Structure 1
Amino acid sequence: MAAASLLTASLVTGAAGPAAAGGGVGAAGGAGAVAGQDGERGLRQRLQELVDRPDGPPGAIAVLRDGERVRVFRAGVAEVGTDRAPRIDDHMRLASASKAFSGAVALRLVDCGLLALDDTLAQRLPALPAAWGAVTLRELLNHTSGLPDYSEAPAFVEQILADPHHVFDSRHLLDFVADQGLEFTPGTQYHYSNSDNIAVALMAEAATGQRYEDLLATEVYRPLGLTGTSLPSGYELPEPYLHGYDVQPPEPPQDVSTRFGASGAWASGGMVSTPRDFSTFAAAWAGGPLISDAARREQRTFVPGASQPAGPGTNRAGLATFEYATRCGAVYGHTGNTAGYTQFGAGTADGRRSVTVSVTEQVNATANPDLLAHLRAVEEDFVCALLSDRPDRRG
């Protein structure tokens, strides 16, 4: 993929084609829920089929979690040219799944009274353009703010093309669109914008006087015991890591794991984690005691809108979370895509179970809609396995 086209759909994880909220997963979908040993073989086969496509990812790993019971499914390799399989403690880029973490920080601050969902940008961040002042924290979290997307600004794109490892001042990413007004009246439309979660993180910093990176540690990593998760500013990944690839057959896969630095994505898409940590977070963010019952009700107030890329089943947007209504039931979580990586992580409403599917190629509707349909079908099969794996059905 040429540098410009890779950048357009990759750096900050937002560009993935139209955000259709509905839609099935196409002919690639499995026939029904899977459980037991035969089902596990079927799940492994589904991952392998994805990897075996000429345009498929070199590696894939999925995790099904039920409390302390963790099952890992993998296909392909962690690095092309080796026989090393993807592992649960390999590092990887979370892309826009990072937005769920900024939501977790924000709602925990709401719970302790340091922020309110009706707080506006004018109140918390008065230095931002006055035209944006009426936008609320709630509207930022569910992508109904109308903020223009800084990652699409010509000056931002030009800087990345000139120096992919450029270290941005993450607190000033919104400066790239500070000369623009809102795209619509806040609260009247859904439009996925990477600017939203930058503003969320800035509001959290303004409310606490602490760096967003430190808030992630105190509000998310430590309570959940996440030891492999971080928000770097550079382009390097901690060892060991899943290598991410640009796949353009018939050319061999090109390693793009470290092509871009993370500072230009920051709270909107710059996080690094492991399949183990991601599955732990996905369960906690979907349900359970990470946030209060009152905050949870607000989190699950949905509007029509899909994550980027769309997840399995029919998508609806809540506060830094999405409902994925599949043929087997609903789960709650987030997706993401960036150069070399695509993520899906979701959990059940009780916070006990989660599913994550991570592949080492950027997959979205702009670059390869057929591959995305196949991936969504695989994700739905794993959701069905998660929801059908009740204690009375275990062998």
Structure 2
Amino acid sequence: MSKSSARLRRGVAVAITVGTLTALLTAGPGWAAPASAPAALTAGSPRPSPPGPVVRAPTPGVARQLDAAVQRVMREANIPGVTVGIWTPGQPGYVRSFGVADKSTGRKMAPGMYMRIGSETKTFTVTALLQLADQKKVGLDDPIARYVGGVPNGHRITLRRLADMRSGLFNYSEDPAFFKALTSNPQRSFTPQQLLAYSFGHPVLFQPGQQFSYCNTNLVLLGLVVEKVSGQRLGDYIRQHILDPAGMTHTLLPNGDEFPTPHAQGYTTQTADGKEADSADWNPSWGWAAGAMISTLQDLRTWAPTVATGRFPDGRRMIGAAVQKQRLVTPRTGSFKGAGYGLGIFDVQGWIGHNGSLPGYESLTVYLPSTRTVLVALLNTDTDYRSQEPSTVLGEALTRIISPGHVYNLPVTRAG
């Protein structure tokens, strides 16, 4: 498989990066698939955060260190533009934009811009599923075959195994025919059924629960479950039951290639010829429930504690306590001790949240419960730097300064 195709998988996937296309969406996580998680990590309370000093306040001196770190990463990784926000209750906030939103005009990056957030979309889709489970409209241990026909091994794969990336299904964004179709016409629209067809032509990779494998196919299936059970389009459900109650008025799941303004242009080399292109007008439908959403810095500031705690900003529960507890059980995804993935959410060295990657864009939205610190980073490129996603490189540089006991160092491995 080509390197570009592998990166598309990540993004649409992780970018545990979809939100890298393994994140095209990445959207997706980029760590290696693990063996079965130890029993101690598959049930019970979420893994406690590793010990470490409190988060450093963004005093003028610390702010200068953060500025220098961002600018260094931008130079080394050739990132056109970055916006960063860091907030801890009782401390001054740190909000900065660097570089350009549009390389052709020199328009500056700004904190209020809309950005594609790739695989962070997964946190919203899984939240919708968990709300329905909380209402007893679905069961997390229901087989997907109860809701969607034709799924390989569908009578054994549960909704839980789709949400925690342990289904064994093939990731459609890794299919060479999908990569060719996408890159030959990035403006084309894909239906969920077309995306699933790319996956279902492949045998299952393993039996449910045996391994971790970041997979956008899982989220497309969960999006269809939400639509079938709720009777609403996925974007409408997310807006009515998640975004509106949270006060997130600048976040959406687009129906097509719409992109509110002002937005940054996005720069990617995930193209048919490998040359850099501006992807702002590309249709993100291929990511749909796994990675097509759009948001802003301030809305993601709201989302970080909301998804991590299961409570809306006004204190109401978004998800019941028992279901939220299940969500935050994050078995390790491999041999790396500090990274685990739960139900549409990860824990990396105590930081709870998700990253995202779509051609031209990357994001990182995480929350440190011990200090209630929020970190959001938005970038207008998804081009890897030394085999790492630029959002990961940036997140590590920032957390080494503000939280040296909790350094966001998501490991990434490439396939193909």
Q: TM-score range by the shorter chain?
A: 0.7 to 0.9
SS of the residue 2:353 aligns to = strand
Contact in 1 for aligned 2:161/2:209 (Cα 8 Å)? yes
SS state of the match for residue 94, structure 2? strand
1:315-352 C-alpha deviation (Å, 9 max, x unpaired): 21111000010xxxx12000122211121111133795
Offset of residue 45 of structure 1: 1.4
Which one-letter code corresponds to 1:151 in the other structure?
A: S
Q: Which residue of 1 aligns with 2:97?
A: 74
Against the structure 1 CA distance between its residues 58 and 194, is the aligned structure 2 distance closer, same or farther, given a 3 Å change threshold? same
Deviation at 1:188, TM superposition (A): 1.0
Task: Mark the CA change 1:233 to 1:9 in structure 2 (over 3 Å): closer, same or farther.
Answer: farther
1:199-210 correspondence runs (5 A): 199-210=221-232
Distance change (3 Å), C-alpha of 1:247 and 1:380: farther
Aligned counterpart for 1:320 among listed residues 322, 331, 344: 344
**Quick one: which amino acid aligns to residue 31 of structure 2?**
A
| Residue of structure 1 in register with 2:309 after alignment | 287
Is 1:214 aligned to residue 236 of structure 2?
Answer: yes
- Aligned partners of 1:323 and 1:333 also within 8 Å: yes
Q: Distance in 1 between matches of 2:224 and 2:389?
A: 37
Counterpart in 1 of 2:361?
A: 341
The percentage of aligned residue pairs carrying the same residue is 26
Cα separation, 2, equivalents of 1:288 and 1:372? 25
Q: How do 1:26-175 residues align onto structure 2 when only pairs under 5 Å count?
A: 34-35=56-57, 36-53=59-76, 55-66=77-88, 70-125=93-148, 127-129=149-151, 131-175=153-197
What SS does structure 1 have at the residue aligned with 2:195?
helix
Letter of the 2:347 partner, please give it: E
Give the secondary structure class of the aligned counterpart of 2:108. Answer: coil
Structure 1, gaps ≥5 residues long: 23-30, 389-395
What residue is the counterpart of 2:290 in the other structure? 268
Are 1:230 and 2:249 matched, yes or no?
Answer: no
Secondary structure of the 1:260 match is coil
Match of 1:192 among 214, 222, 227: 214
Give the paired residue count. 361
Whole-Å separation in 2 of the counterparts to 1:217 and 1:102: 11
Over 3 Å counting, the alpha-carbon distance change for 1:49 and 1:21 in structure 2 is: farther
- Matched position secondary structure for 1:336: strand
Quote how far apart the aligned CAs of 1:65 are.
3.1
Q: 1:21 to 1:151 in 2, by over 3 A?
A: closer
| Partner amino acid, structure 2, of 1:332 | I
TM-score after normalising by structure 1: 0.81
Does the C-alpha gap of structure 1 residues 161 and 78 become closer, same or farther in structure 2, counting only changes over 3 Å? Answer: closer
Q: 1:166 Cα shift?
A: 1.0
CA shift, 1:20, in A, is 4.2
Structure 2 residue identity aligned to 1:223:
P
Q: Is the 8 A contact 1:337 1:363 kept in 2?
A: no
CA distance in 1, matches of 2:260, 2:155: 39
Match of 1:14 in 2: 22
Evaluate the alpha carbon distance shift between residue 364 and residue 138 of structure 1 in structure 2; reply closer, same or farther with a 3 A threshold: farther
1:360 aligns with 2:380: yes
Q: How far, CA to CA, are the matches of 1:17 and 1:231 in structure 2? A: 21
SS at match of 2:285: coil
In structure 2, the CA distance between the partners of 1:42 and 1:137, relative to structure 1 (3 Å rule), is: same
**Partner of residue 27, structure 1:** none
Q: What CA deviation, in whole Å up to 9, does each residue of 1:42-85 have, x standing for no partner?
A: 111111112223x4211111112346975312221222244543
- Distance in 2 (alpha carbons) for counterparts of 1:282 and 1:242: 22
What is the CA-CA distance between 1:158 and the residue it aligns to?
Answer: 2.6
Q: Deviations over 1:1-24 (max 9, x none)?
A: xxx7555523622158961489xx
In structure 1, give the amino acid aligned to 2:330. F
Q: CA 1:233 to 1:156, structure 2 compared with 1: closer, same or farther past 3 Å? A: farther
Q: SS of 1:334's equivalent?
A: strand
| 1:304 and 2:332 are equivalent in the alignment | yes
Q: Quote the RMSD (CA, aligned, Å).
A: 3.2
Distance 2:205 2:217 in 1: 12
